[in-house]
Structure 1
Amino acid sequence: MAGGRRAAPALLLLLHAARLAAEQEVENLSGLSPSPEKDIFVVRENRTTCLMAEFAAKFIVPYDVWASNYVDLITEQAEIPLSRGAEMRGKCGTDEAELEISWLARAYSLRLSFAKEGRNTSRGPEALWRLARVQFTYDTAERTYFKDAVSPGKHTASSHRLSAFVTPAGKSYECQAQQTISLVSSDHQKSVELLLSEVRVQPFDISADFVFSEEHKCPVDQREQLEETLPLILGLILGLVIVITLCVYHIHHKLTANQVQIPRDRSQYKHMG
């Protein structure tokens, strides 16, 4: 009986874990993207989407190799794309959310941590969310991207005091332009660069399943959009000025044509009347 009583709590824990696993779903939908470089990730809890992320990502990682004399070290750079079919885990919360992606037998792993908070802005208090931390783990013993690395092994590159993708609460962040996030590696403090493009992310307050909320464009996209529309706006203004000028000229010409012409030569006054 004692053994049965001890087994009961363990069974309950297993059932509870199974229920939690069933309540949370993580899906890699990268195959639905028309771009081969773009990945799509979705986290769902209780059959409702709570985090969505789409982006193309690549890492530039410096590493040491022996020079031809086998005495000096030289630095090479590995370009590591985020592979399609990557494994993923996610965590949603009221004020914190997280997305972890790993690929090539977990030789590479990317963790994105998001935070939601209140801030004082020029318009008053406002709720915002941001990308608060980026952590990238890589293994220089993996030979797909690292060739003949000296002292191969696992390293972790992390952001420092990051505040990126700052977005008003209830909106998604969108940026088509390429962005660079610098990370500091445990490998002799080398600087690793994360290159992101075609980004659309929302870690909080998704109102419709599998649907992003209204987008908040990054400053670069806003500037590019303005540069694209500015010539059109200037052309319309110029066209409007020309039309107004022609209308004023036409009205002025009509008014002056209807006025009685008074002769400038006084000798002609006797012929009037």
Structure 2
Amino acid sequence: MDLRRRALLGVDGLRVLLMLFHTVTRIMAEQEVENLSGLSTNPEKDIFVVRENGTTCLMAEFAAKFIVPYDVWASNYVDESHNTSKGPEATWKLSKVQFVYDSSEKTHFKDAVSAGKHTANSHHLSALVTPAGKSYECQAQQTISLASSDPQKTVTMILSAVHIQPFDIISDFVFSEEHKCPVDEREQLEETLPLILGLILGLVIVVTLVIYHIHHKMTANQVQIPRDRSQYKHMG
């Protein structure tokens, strides 16, 4: 009898291949991936860069985790969770994700049935679409489903706190103007809309008070014409 279990994995020690395609340019040459997390000014985030012939062509800052379902033999083991955060007109986008994992690795996969290396790939992916020359930023959580070579298994990739940019990178840790994801833009609008409405209401009140004050002052300065005719002076 076998049971189904899920492993929650960080990207540490796992090989994740992110392939980004520009509408015109593709990165074809051999590349080197470098972890710059130790140089980051923010200890809670990690940064990875991809260099080609000494030139930075991709910079990524992100947190990621993978939920991998697998079958196990019935046992008394208690599931463990492992979560390690790692970072990382024309447009660029994320068009393919390939995730390689080994279910025979006992740290994350206990008593796995048919243990071995598996590859999970995305299909027809079009994510992180961003105008050329800008970086993509999204604090909200995003989920991408990957079809695994392990039969009838779907790996879930969860991204958050993403800041990524290919091409046109001036220097390490320096991103171009941010292109925010729709979720972040909506949340920002929901936060600022009450403030904007409050400012407009306050402005309307101030304008009303000023108009009332001016009208009252002009009325007070007008000459009052007596209504009793006896108060008029006779001429002659």
Residue in 2 aligned with 1:63?
70
Partner SS, residue 93 of structure 2: strand
Structure 1 residue aligned with 2:37: 30
Q: Residue 129 of structure 1: CA displacement? A: 0.4
1:212 aligns with 2:219: no
Contact 1:57 1:197 in 2 (8 A): yes
Evaluate the alpha carbon distance shift between residue 182 and residue 144 of structure 1 in structure 2; reply closer, same or farther with a 3 A threshold. Answer: same
1:180 and 2:143 are equivalent in the alignment: yes
Q: Is the 8 A contact 2:33 2:49 kept in 1?
A: yes
Indicate if the aligned counterparts of 2:63 and 2:85 stay in contact, CA closer than 8 A: no
Which string of whole-angstrom CA distances, capped at 9 and with x for unpartnered residues, describes residues 64-117 of structure 1? 123469xxxxxx987554576x9xxxxxxxxxxxx9xxxxxxxxxxxxxxxxxx
Q: How many residues align?
A: 202
- Structure 1's 203 and 175: CA in aligned 2 closer, same or farther, altered over 3 A? same
Q: Match for 1:62: what amino acid?
A: P
Runs of 5+ consecutive residues of structure 2 not aligned to the other structure? 1-28
Residue 133 (structure 1) shift: 0.5
Which SS does the other structure have where 2:70 is aligned? strand
Query: Is contact 1:60–1:78 with CA below 8 Å preserved after alignment?
Result: no
- 1:272 aligned partner: 232
More helix by share: 1
Instruction: Assess if the C-alpha contact under 8 Å between 1:58 and 1:79 holds in 2.
Output: no
Shift of 1:272: 3.4
After TM superposition, the structure 1 = structure 2 runs for residues 121-200 of structure 1, keeping only pairs within 5 Å, are 126-200=89-163
The corresponding residue for 1:47 is: 54
Comparing both chains, which one has the higher relative contact order based on Cα–Cα distances under 8 Å and sequence gaps of 6 or more? 2
4+ long deviations beyond 4 Å: 76-80
CA distance in 1, matches of 2:112, 2:133: 45
Q: Counterparts of 1:173 and 1:196 in 2: how far apart (Å)?
A: 13
Q: Secondary structure, in 3 states, of the residue corresponding to 2:188?
A: helix
Cα distance between partner residues in 1 of 2:108 and 2:229: 101
CA contact (8 A) 1:135 1:159 kept: yes
Give me the whole-angstrom Cα distance separating, in 2, the residues matched to 1:66 and 1:269: 112
Deviations 1:115-159 (A, max 9, x none): xxxxxxxxxxx1000000111111111111111112211221111
Counterpart CA distance in 2 for 1:269 and 1:67 is 111
Structure 1 unaligned regions, length at least 5: 1-19, 70-75, 87-98, 100-125
Confirm or deny: 8 A CA contact 2:120 2:146 kept in the other structure. Answer: yes
Pairwise CA RMSD of aligned residues?
Answer: 2.7
How many angstroms apart in 1 are the aligned matches of 2:119 and 2:60?
22
Percent identity (aligned):
74
Partners of 1:25 and 1:65 in 2: CA distance:
37
TM-score for both structures, normalised by structure 1: 0.66
Say which SS state the counterpart of residue 232 (structure 1) adopts: helix
Distance 1:77 1:241 in 2: 60
Shift of 1:57: 0.6
